[in-house]
Structure 1
Amino acid sequence: MKIEKNKVGLFNYTLTDNDGNVIDASNGQPLAYLHGYSNLIPGLENELEGKTVGDKFSTTVKAAEGYGEIEPHLIQTEVPKAMFQGVENLEVGMRFEAQSEHGVHSVVITEVSEEHVTVDGNHPLAGQDLTFEVEVTGVRDATDEEIEHGHAHGDGGHHH
């Protein structure tokens, strides 16, 4: 059975950056996803199309096909520290959930001055080429419920 739309693929993976540093890995817990519903970054989903159990491959996904390029408008400078009520020491690297007219998104502090901070709302992996080492461990038909919900359930599935 091949990975195609309305199939659930299971795979182990190791994700590394341009310098070969491991960013993420499945560590023997295969990831299950419903193919054809944009549950993975496009560059990886495209590579998995047509694969079968036991297939192993390595692929480098360009930023545009991964988590996107860095978008300057998501970086805000001169944010008053007063916006962060109840936080004693604001430090570079801290993550916050920010509310905007587009819903909730995660931002990270990239700079701190006397009265202001700079926050970056880009995905942490935006602007990076990503290399995946992949081994396909399973393929099965999706259930009607999975197709209706648009994502895999059960082992390895992610509930949002």
Structure 2
Amino acid sequence: MPVTKNSIVTVDYQIFDTEGNLLHEEDEPIVYLHGDYGQIFKAIEEALEGKEVDDTFSVKLSSDEAFGEYDPELVVTEALSELPAEVTIGMEVDGYLDEDGEDVIIYTVTDIEGDRATLDGNHPLAGIDLVFEGKILDIEAATPEEIEEILNSDD
């Protein structure tokens, strides 16, 4: 069965930079609903269209197509007293964008100096052109009930 709209696709993948350095590898494959539902990057979904189980793929994405450009305005300094007691470098903490108190942003603690911590709200792969390489492990036709459940779980 080829990958088509409303297929549930299981993919094993790795992410490299354009020089071939491994940047990310998942322990578990990703499972997504194919069909322009926004569950996977559009260019990857387009590359998988029509492929079959055991087919491999390699898709290069510019930083704009992947995790966006690096935004220095998403780097902030906070007092340690405003953060969890056991804050450490590399720890992720939830925060909010100043303009919109509803959108949660995940900050990574990148530095601790004195009584202040530097937090970076950029995705760790922001600003980097990436290459996604992988293999299709499974393809199943989604039932209408599965489609509704998957789409409703994204809310």
TM-score range, shorter chain: 0.7 to 0.9
Q: How many residues align?
A: 150
Match of 1:55 in 2: 55
Give 1:76 deviation, angstroms: 1.4
Partner SS, residue 148 of structure 1: helix
Give 1:108 deviation, angstroms: 0.8
Any unmatched runs of 5+ in structure 1?
152-157
Give every structure 1 segment of 4 or more consecutive aligned residues whose post-TM-superposition deviation is greater than 6 Å: none
Match of 1:20 in 2: 20
Match of 1:45 in 2: 45
For 1:81, the aligned partner's letter is: L
TM-score (norm 2): 0.78
How many Å separate the matches in 2 of 1:95 and 1:26? 18
Any unmatched runs of 5+ in structure 2?
none
TM-score (norm 1): 0.76
Contact 1:43 1:66 in 2 (8 A): no
Matched-pair identity in %: 33
How many Å separate the matches in 2 of 1:33 and 1:20? 26
For 2:136, the aligned partner's letter is: V
Q: Map residues 1-160 of structure 1 onto 2, 5 A cutoff.
A: 1-26=1-26, 29-35=28-34, 36-77=36-77, 79-87=78-86, 90-99=87-96, 101-150=101-150
For 1:25, the aligned partner's letter is: E
Give 1:44 deviation, angstroms: 1.9
Distance 1:92 1:19, change over 3 A: farther
Distance 1:39 1:117, change over 3 A: same
Distance 1:145 1:105, change over 3 A: farther
Partner SS, residue 96 of structure 1: strand
Give 1:140 deviation, angstroms: 1.8
C-alpha root-mean-square deviation of aligned residues, in Å? 2.6
